[in-house]
């Protein structure tokens, strides 16, 4: 058994109106990857932010190698060798890799005011070499992929000689290859004796990387299990406090043959090449493919967000011209972006305003005055219908959980009377419980006659939800599978079917 | 190890290219203007006119240098115009009203600007008042103080001829009698070198960029954000103070009613020079070029006998055009 690095005991933390952590405990050993899982709002990030000195605890104690410590700010935690890589990366995009890593403690030359740029770059180069990360210290961070930026964060954390490294959902935005690279580095660090706390929503990752798993729920510590002793259903039931069976497919009947959306030979530069498909009433069509296969581009082209070079779009058999999202909405097409926070919602406004935003015209009376009562009634109806959890209709959207935000985007498009809905990664960043609610919602919508295109990178999700599956690779449709025939293997085969010319 | 060589070259080069395009835009515009006006009028490319342009640029250039720092942090300083005036009036108070030596008056004037900047910085960084409002307030305060102290009248430096030579004397002319380039121009370039050094070689410069790029990340990295932000505004104020001294020396008087509007000229120069108003990027070279673009434009139009009113219209159009070009460049 390795040395106990960290013991957190009886941790309590309240924010105004929320009891975020209640008597929580946690421990971390040297040379282990300890996963921390739980639904959104379970308190994982909060607990770790207490350890990283971002939040101060109300009660409880933190022992570091057996000695009680007081971690009142991030700097104090760093000096004790505790570093946290936050979910939203904390980098300065305009600065270089090296400048980011040494921000706040730049090597100086002679006079304390002068920077020693050479030393900054040299030390960074050494640091990156020990991690076997292939990066030039002088590259600007803005030009790096998210995965590489994460490497910069890891390097930065390690440059403090941290032996406790907390990672908050590091794989949320990474491709499979990048995840593999990240895992390689995590294992490398673990072997060097670093204790790693790994917060994640992707439960399947646990068996690839974690040694132990701690589950939290509603701000409470539930249990810690060794990964060999855990199975996914048990972890999920600990997370949600009830048992849900992940596997059962829930595809609704689809009787209609009416084609509501037809796309013919959609092309755009090299990103889209002759994309053609049909979508029937009440149907859910899943779009599968690897990152960069062109799925989001198809959605954006149909929605009028990007111009197309050639191709036709037919809505209910009639050829339509869509030059802007406005045209698309007029034809009843709604697009739910994968980045809800940036494109789907106005976070600083309240629930009711967001719900009616895409159809605001209809909530004005004849002289253009807002009809607040009508807005309230509509918002109320959708909050009930979609079971959106919010303390009030006047709650600011940024205070809602990811799942509820997603439902809000759906409500927004339903208010706008759209019946062709394109969902781009509808469950990204949403926890297990809320996920199954979103699935149920999609099924309900399909049953009510809405037609749905669902873009997803999670194959189990595609398989579970779609009547038909269209697979893309490098801007082309490479295969179509019915739900009966589809397997993960077949999808992957189509998804990697690159054209022979490009090598 | 050998693998690292490849990305190094690519990224280095592409970054260079991006920077080069950015510099080229403003620089190209400047060259274009120079060529155009040279061809359009024989009176443009004369020694006297070029010196005139340089002198014309000096005050706006110095103000623009200071506000470049503030803008790179993502902030704005609307007070530099009237702080410049206030500093000029203070210089006059020191030298004319209180009979102190010229050197003391100059330092006092510059420090007056620094003090105004320090207050701006404190209000922005510690009291969390948005920079636009904080410096708008300081704009009025400095304007009012200048009027109160001067009792609404210009103060002339007739008894201190040494003061005038700060701007209009010529050290260069003493060495090369052929080139009577006024000291104000030397001061502008000297200030530019100091600014470039501060921005690129010192901790202050690094945190200026860091603040503009991602303030929260900078804070979480353990940087004392309040301190450095205050210092950035103070630097902006010091440059405004220097601008005030220069202005007073050029006019041989402190003109309390002058100054408002200068902040916008300076901000325009910074923006034409490619510094982003959203923070995180900018160069001193760009600012200097931007300042020259503006004064060359005004001077050239005047030589071509365009009405002064129309010169102002053209300046506005050029400003929007410059920023639009930059947006197009970014999109590409």
- What is the Rg, in whole angstroms, of the alpha carbon atoms belonging to chain B? 20
Q: Is the dihedral of CA A55, A58, A60, A61 positive or negative?
A: positive
Domain ranges of chain B: 55-331
pLDDT at residue A253 above 90? no
Scanning the structure block, which residue is given the tokens 């990283």? A52
Contact A90 B222 (CB under 8 A): no
CA distance B263 to A501: 58
pLDDT digits (tens, 9 = 90+) for A331-356: 999 888 877 767 778 888 888 888 88
pLDDT digits (tens, 9 = 90+) for A193-220: 999 999 987 777 889 999 999 999 888 8
For the domain A4-240, what is the CATH code? Answer: 3.40.50.300
Nearest CB among B7, B213, B221 relative to A136 is that of: B7
Closest C-alpha among A97, A226, A224, A89 to residue A169? A89
pLDDT digits (tens, 9 = 90+) for A422-472: 998 888 767 667 777 788 888 888 888 899 999 987 777 888 888 899 999
Nearest CB among A113, A125, A134 relative to B203 is that of: A113
Top-level CATH class of B55-331? mainly alpha
* Residues A476, A295 contacting (CB under 8 angstroms): no
Residue A246 pLDDT class (50, 70, 90 cuts): very low
Q: What order of strands is seen across the sheet that includes strand A468-473?
A: A333-336, A420-424, A451-455, A284-289, A468-473, A476-482
pLDDT for the residue A41:
67
H-helix or E-strand spanning residue A452: strand A451-455
H-helix or E-strand spanning residue A450: none
For A273, list phi and psi in degrees, rounded to 5: -130, 110
ipTM over 0.85: no
Interface test with B, best of A71, A85, A86, A104 (most B CBs within 10 A): A104
CA distance B201 to B204: 8
B210 touches chain A (CB under 8 A): yes
Nearest CB among B4, B221, B281 relative to A103 is that of: B221
Tell me how crowded residue B235 is: count the other CB atoms within 10 A of its CB. Answer: 28
Q: Which residues of A touch B (CB under 8 A)?
A: 54, 74-75, 78, 86, 90-95, 99, 103-106, 108, 112-115, 117, 125, 128-129, 134-136, 138-140, 143
In A333-415, DSSP assigns E strands to 333-336
State both tokens at A93: 């995009």
Q: How many CA atoms lie within 13 A of B53 on its CB side?
A: 26
pLDDT for the residue A501:
37
Chain B residues in contact with A99 (beta carbon < 8 A): 206, 210
Interface test with A, best of B16, B197, B206 (most A CBs within 10 A): B206
Contact A108 B212 (CB under 8 A): no
Contact B203 A114 (CB under 8 A): yes
Chain B residues in contact with A136 (beta carbon < 8 A): 4, 7-8, 11-12
B221 touches chain A (CB under 8 A): yes
Closest C-alpha among B234, B180, B183, B227 to residue B207? B227
Contact B222 A139 (CB under 8 A): no
- Average pLDDT, integer, range A354-371: 83
Residue A99 pLDDT class (50, 70, 90 cuts): very high
Closest C-alpha among A475, A457, A497 to residue A174? A457
Tell me the CATH architecture of domain A251-332+418-503.
3-Layer(aba) Sandwich (3.40)
- Average pLDDT, integer, range A491-495: 80
Task: Considering chain A, tell me which residue range(s) the CATH 3.40.50.300 domain(s) occupy.
Answer: 4-240, 251-332+418-503
Least confident of A17-21, A195-199, B183-187, B252-256: A17-21
Which residue pairs, CB below 8 angstroms and at least 24 apart, start in A444-449?
A445/A410, A445/A421, A446/A252, A446/A254, A446/A282, A446/A283, A446/A284, A447/A252, A447/A253, A447/A282, A448/A282, A449/A256, A449/A281, A449/A282, A449/A419
What DSSP string runs through B219-255?
HHTT--HHHHHHHHHHHHHHHHHHHHHHHHHHHTEE-
B16 touches chain A (CB under 8 A): no
Nearest CB among A92, A114, A115 relative to B214 is that of: A92
Q: In sequence order, what are the beta bridge partners of A15?
A: A18
Task: Say what the pTM is.
Answer: 0.74
Q: Is the pLDDT higher at B304 or at A250? A: B304
* Residues B26, B272 contacting (CB under 8 angstroms): yes
For A160, the closest chain B residue by CA position comes to: B221
Question: How confident is the prediction for chain B on average, in pLDDT?
Answer: 89
B215 touches chain A (CB under 8 A): no
Residue B1 pLDDT class (50, 70, 90 cuts): very low
Residue B75 pLDDT class (50, 70, 90 cuts): very high
CA distance A152 to A179: 15
Q: In sequence order, what are the beta bridge partners of A268?
A: A272
């Amino acid at each position: 058994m390795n040395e106990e690095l960290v013991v957190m005991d009886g941790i309590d933390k309240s924010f105004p109106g929320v009891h975020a952590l209640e008597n929580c405990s946690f421990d971390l050993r040297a040379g282990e990857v300890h996963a921390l899982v739980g639904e959104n709002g379970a308190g994982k990030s909060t607990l770790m932010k207490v350890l990283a000195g971002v939040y101060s605890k109300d009660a409880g104690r933190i022992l570091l190698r057996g000695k009680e410590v007081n971690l009142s700010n991030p700097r104090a935690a760093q000096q004790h060798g505790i570093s946290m890589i936050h979910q939203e990366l904390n980098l300065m995009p305009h600065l270089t890799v090296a400048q980011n890593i040494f921000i706040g403690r730049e090597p100086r030359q002679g006079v304390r005011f002068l920077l020693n740029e050479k030393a900054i770059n040299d030390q960074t180069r050494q640091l990156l070499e020990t991690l076997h990360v292939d990066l030039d210290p002088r590259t600007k961070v803005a030009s790096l992929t998210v995965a590489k930026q994460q490497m910069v964060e890891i390097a930065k954390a390690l440059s403090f000689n941290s032996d406790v490294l907390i990672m908050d959902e590091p794989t949320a935005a990474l491709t499979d290859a990048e995840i593999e690279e990240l895992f390689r580095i995590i294992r490398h660090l673990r072997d060097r004796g670093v204790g790693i706390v790994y917060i994640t929503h992707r439960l399947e990752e646990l068996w690839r990387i974690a040694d132990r798993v701690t589950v939290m729920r509603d701000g409470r510590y539930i249990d810690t299990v060794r990964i060999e002793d855990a199975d996914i259903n048990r972890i999920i039931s600990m997370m949600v406090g009830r048992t849900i069976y992940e596997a059962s497919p829930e595809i609704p009947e689809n009787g209609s043959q009416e084609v509501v959306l037809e796309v013919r030979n959609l092309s755009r530069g090299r990103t889209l090449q002759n994309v053609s498909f049909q979508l029937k009433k009440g149907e859910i069509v899943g779009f599968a493919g690897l990152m960069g296969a062109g799925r989001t581009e198809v959605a954006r082209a149909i929605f009028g967000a990007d111009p197309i070079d050639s191709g036709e779009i037919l809505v209910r058999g009639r050829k339509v011209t869509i030059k802007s999202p406005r045209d698309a909405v007029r034809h009843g097409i709604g697009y739910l972006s994968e980045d809800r926070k940036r494109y789907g919602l106005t976070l600083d406004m309240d629930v009711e305003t967001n719900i009616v935003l895409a159809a605001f015209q209809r909530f004005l009376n004849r002289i253009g005055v807002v009809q607040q009562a009508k807005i309230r009634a509509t918002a109320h109806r959708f909050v009930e219908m979609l079971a959106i959890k919010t303390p009030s209709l006047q709650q600011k959207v940024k205070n809602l959980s990811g799942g509820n935000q997603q439902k809000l985007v759906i409500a927004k498009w339903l208010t706008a009377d759209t019946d062709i809905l394109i969902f781009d990664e509808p469950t990204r960043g949403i926890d297990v419980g809320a996920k199954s609610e979103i699935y149920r919602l999609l099924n309900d919508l399909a049953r009510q006659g809405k037609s749905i295109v669902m873009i997803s990178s999670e194959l189990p999700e595609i398989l579970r939800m779609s009547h038909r599956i269209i697979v893309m690779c490098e801007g082309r449709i490479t295969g179509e599978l019915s739900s009966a025939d589809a397997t993960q293997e077949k999808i992957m085969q189509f998804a990697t079917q690159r054209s022979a010319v490009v090598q | 190890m050998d693998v690292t060589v490849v990305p190094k070259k690519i990224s280095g080069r592409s970054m260079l290219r991006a920077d080069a395009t950015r510099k080229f835009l403003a620089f190209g515009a400047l060259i274009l203007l120079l060529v155009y006006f040279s061809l359009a009028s024989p009176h443009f490319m004369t020694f006297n006119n070029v010196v005139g342009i340089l002198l014309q640029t000096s005050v706006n250039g110095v103000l623009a240098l200071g506000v470049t720092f503030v803008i790179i942090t993502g902030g704005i300083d609307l007070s530099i115009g009237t702080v410049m005036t206030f500093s000029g009036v203070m210089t006059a108070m020191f030298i004319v009203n209180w009979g102190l030596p010229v050197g003391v008056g100059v330092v006092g004037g510059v420090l007056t600007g620094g003090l105004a900047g320090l207050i701006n910085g404190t209000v922005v960084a510690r009291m969390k008042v948005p920079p636009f409002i904080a410096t708008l307030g300081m704009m009025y305060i400095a304007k009012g103080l200048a009027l109160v102290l001067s009792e609404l009248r210009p103060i002339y430096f007739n008894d201190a001829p040494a003061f005038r030579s700060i701007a209009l004397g010529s050290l260069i002319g003493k060495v090369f009698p052929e080139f009577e380039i006024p000291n104000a121009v030397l001061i502008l370039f000297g200030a530019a070198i100091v600014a470039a050094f501060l921005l690129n070689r010192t901790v202050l410069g690094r945190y200026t960029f860091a603040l503009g790029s991602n303030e929260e990340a900078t804070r979480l990295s353990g940087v004392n954000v309040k301190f450095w932000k205050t210092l950035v505004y103070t630097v902006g104020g010091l440059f405004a103070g220097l601008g005030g001294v220069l202005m007073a020396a050029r006019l041989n008087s402190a003109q309390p009613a002058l100054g408002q509007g200068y902040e916008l000229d300076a901000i325009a120069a910074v923006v034409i020079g490619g510094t982003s108003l959203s923070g995180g990027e900018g160069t001193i070279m760009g600012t200097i070029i931007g300042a020259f673009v503006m004064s060359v434009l005004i001077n050239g139009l005047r030589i071509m006998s365009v009405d002064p009113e129309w010169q102002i219209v053209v300046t506005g159009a050029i400003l929007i055009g410059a920023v639009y070009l930059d947006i197009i460049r970014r999109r590409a």
